[in-house]
């Protein structure tokens, strides 16, 4: 995994010391994504920079990579991992291409040379890349099916500028952080979710997942190359189970490729247990060392744990079961309250926006500790979105909310805005617009049962909004530590197939992820298969609530704190008085209740101080 950036200009010669310095300044902002190696490519029309995290082929995967072919020159910067590298390499060899190393970068570049724009339809993996075609004087850029790897861009003063993270764009002269009504609506109406393609800051854009773009003298052209398509599911129950099992096992095995130490995250939940089981079996079958597994916990968490509808039990009992079954080398990373609070700012910087508070900072610290022993991890992320595992697939209050079911506290969100701004911005109208816009994209079949049709809608919303938020979290928190997180459940082939399985099968026996549980019932221990869904663990230590309350209170004691210009000071003081207990139900997702709201507000103030966005209403 890596960090990429660059810019293209057709009206000015870029081969100057000034532009090289700009490139280096931008690259310094994403150095955490690629701490192992630096590279750049400079000519009169395009400049590329690359920060590399070495995972595969240390010598043969150096970037930017240039290849001359039939009187043309092609140069690539690439962030990602292809999981069908061998198939593509073999196909290209039959077409008389030869290879100097075994990196997927070389395979991707030569695939583009042969297949052109259609290359995106040949790829299975996680990727964001840009390729400069010298003869055509054209930049081709693309992002993977679900947008697991980031790609942001802007156009300024005849320059097309792109980067893995927004912070790098702001190091280009004249590109400044600005936020308008849409940005405020995104942050406080939808946040930490955001509309796909929206870079939050004014004039900053995100290339959507499953899209590619071309930039040349005629401007920018963006096209979609893949989407979930609704089709009649004709497979028998047995064939359905067999296909899901094959696709899942194949995805996991493909993602175990690495030239550096690799591990899995193990929470004892169904999803991470499936990944760990297959990964540990793979290690045994191929004569490798026992798999390393890691989990996260918090000081005094067992003592303070509180059972809720969203988090019914803690993890340790189930982790022990899986560790013994798989024979892994397991280690628990124990985090303390001060660490979580102190890392809130780093987590915000990693995202470039206020995010999921300590749900982010805990993952950032978790990855920081695991990085000491591994550089790559497979996780169970995305199974709930693909297979229907979240409570809102079943809860009537969520299903009947007529809004995004993980974020139904609309009145409270509006009240958070500064009264002067609140007069100008109606968050509910904006949320309704985005909600209806998304639902209009869902393809319902005449043969769909009423329940399947309704669950297609909520599945589509979950896949395109909530899952994207978690994928962003995984990428940013991991890459902030030079650590790669892979998500086998997010293989687009698996998602395509499961999308069309009728809800009655997907939720077999009325259970969340019922079909997946059934498929695993003879493979995993019954305690794991029957365990009710439990999300990524958060701290229950009351010291954390006290710590973030103190942080927020210190902010509010300063009447010049920038947060008061954007948010409702009186309402925040009211939240402080109740220790956030006015938000006893999650205000976002499953975990973010009062303490996380206070931490989020701290992140907002940190963000305003760090980025100093100009507010344009």
Residue 379, helix vs strand vs coil: coil
With vertex at residue 225, the alpha carbon angle to CA 385 and CA 89, rounded to the nearest 5 degrees, is 95
Structural tokens at position 488: 């086998």
Classify residue 116 by its DSSP letter: G
Count of other CB atoms within 10 angstroms of residue 437: 10
In DSSP notation, 277-317 reads: HHHHHHHHHTTPPPPEEEEEEETTHHHH----SS--S-SHH
Distance CA 455, CA 39 (A): 47
Q: Which positions ≥6 away from 313 have C-beta within 8 Å?
A: 307, 531, 532, 534
CA distances from 393 to 452, 461, 494, 506, 511 (A): 11, 11, 20, 11, 10
Residue 480, helix vs strand vs coil: coil
- Beta-bridged to residue 582, according to DSSP, are none
Task: Name the pairing type of β-strands 211-216 and 219-224.
Answer: antiparallel
CB 336 within 8 A of CB 297: no
- Beta-bridged to residue 455, according to DSSP, are none
Catalytic residue status for 2:
yes
Locate tokens 């196909």: which residue?
Answer: 91
Distance CA 554, CA 551 (A): 5
CB 443 within 8 A of CB 590: no
Q: Which of 2, 193, 283, 382 is catalytic?
A: 2
- Residues involved in catalysis: 2
């Amino acid at each position: 995994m890596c960090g990429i950036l660059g810019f293209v200009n057709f009206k000015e010669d870029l081969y100057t010391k000034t532009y090289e310095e700009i490139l280096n300044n931008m690259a310094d902002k994403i150095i955490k994504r690629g701490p192992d190696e630096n590279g750049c490519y400079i000519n009169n029309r395009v400049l590329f920079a690359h920060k590399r995290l070495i995972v595969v082929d240390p010598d043969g995967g150096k970037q930017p990579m240039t290849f001359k072919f039939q009187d043309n020159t092609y140069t690539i910067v690439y962030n990602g991992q292809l999981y069908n590298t061998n198939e593509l390499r073999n196909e290209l060899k039959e077409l008389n291409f030869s290879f100097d190393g075994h990196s997927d970068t070389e395979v991707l570049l030569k695939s583009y040379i042969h297949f052109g724009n259609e290359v995106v339809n040949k790829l299975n993996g996680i990727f964001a890349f840009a390729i400069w075609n010298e003869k055509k004087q054209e930049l081709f850029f693309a992002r993977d099916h679900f947008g697991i790897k980031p790609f942001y861009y802007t156009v300024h003063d005849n320059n097309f500028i792109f980067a893995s993270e927004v912070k790098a764009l702001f190091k280009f002269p004249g590109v400044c952080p600005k936020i308008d009504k849409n940005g405020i609506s995104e942050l406080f109406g939808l946040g930490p979710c955001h509309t796909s393609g929206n870079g939050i800051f004014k004039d900053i854009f995100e290339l959507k997942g499953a899209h590619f773009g071309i930039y040349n003298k005629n401007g920018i052209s963006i096209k979609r190359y893949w989407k979930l398509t609704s089709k009649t599911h004709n497979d028998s129950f047995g064939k359905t189970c067999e296909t899901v099992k094959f696709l899942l096992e194949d995805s996991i095995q493909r993602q175990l490729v690495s030239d550096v130490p690799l591990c899995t995250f193990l929470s004892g939940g169904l999803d991470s247990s499936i990944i760990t089981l297959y990964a540990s079996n793979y290690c045994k079958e191929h004569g490798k060392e026992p798999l390393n597994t890691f989990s996260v916990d918090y000081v005094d968490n067992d003592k303070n744990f509180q059972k809720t509808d969203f988090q019914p039990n803690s993890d340790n009992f189930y982790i022990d079961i899986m560790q013994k079954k798989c024979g892994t080398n397991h280690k628990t990373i124990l985090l303390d309250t001060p660490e979580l609070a102190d890392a809130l700012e780093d987590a915000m910087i990693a995202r470039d926006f206020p995010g999921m508070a300590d749900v982010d900072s805990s993952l950032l610290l978790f990855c920081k500790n695991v990085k000491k022993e591994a550089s790559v991890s497979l996780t169970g992320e995305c199974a709930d979105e693909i297979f229907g595992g979240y409570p809102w697939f079943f809860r009537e209050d969520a299903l009947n909310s007529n809004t995004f079911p993980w974020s139904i506290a609309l009145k409270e969100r509006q009240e958070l805005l500064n009264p002067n701004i609140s007069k100008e911005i109606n968050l509910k109208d904006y949320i309704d617009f985005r909600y209806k816009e998304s639902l209009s994209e869902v393809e319902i079949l005449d043969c769909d049962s009423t329940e399947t049709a309704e669950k297609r809608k909520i599945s589509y919303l979950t896949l395109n909004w909530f899952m994207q938020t978690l994928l962003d979290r995984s990428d940013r928190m991991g890459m902030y530590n030079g650590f790669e997180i892979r998500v086998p459940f997010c293989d687009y082939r698996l998602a395509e197939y499961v999308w069309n399985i009728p809800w009655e099968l997907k939720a077999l026996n009325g259970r969340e992820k019922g079909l997946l549980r059934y498929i695993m019932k003879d493979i995993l221990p019954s305690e794991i298969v029957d365990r009710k869904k439990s999300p990524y663990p958060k701290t229950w230590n009351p010291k954390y609530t006290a710590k973030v309350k103190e942080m927020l209170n210190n902010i509010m004691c300063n009447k010049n704190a920038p947060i008061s210009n954007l948010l409702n000071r009186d309402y925040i003081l009211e939240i402080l008085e109740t220790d956030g207990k006015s938000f006893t139900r999650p205000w976002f997702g499953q975990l973010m209740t009062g303490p996380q709201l206070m931490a989020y507000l701290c992140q907002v103030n940190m963000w305003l101080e760090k980025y100093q966005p100009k507010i344009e209403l």
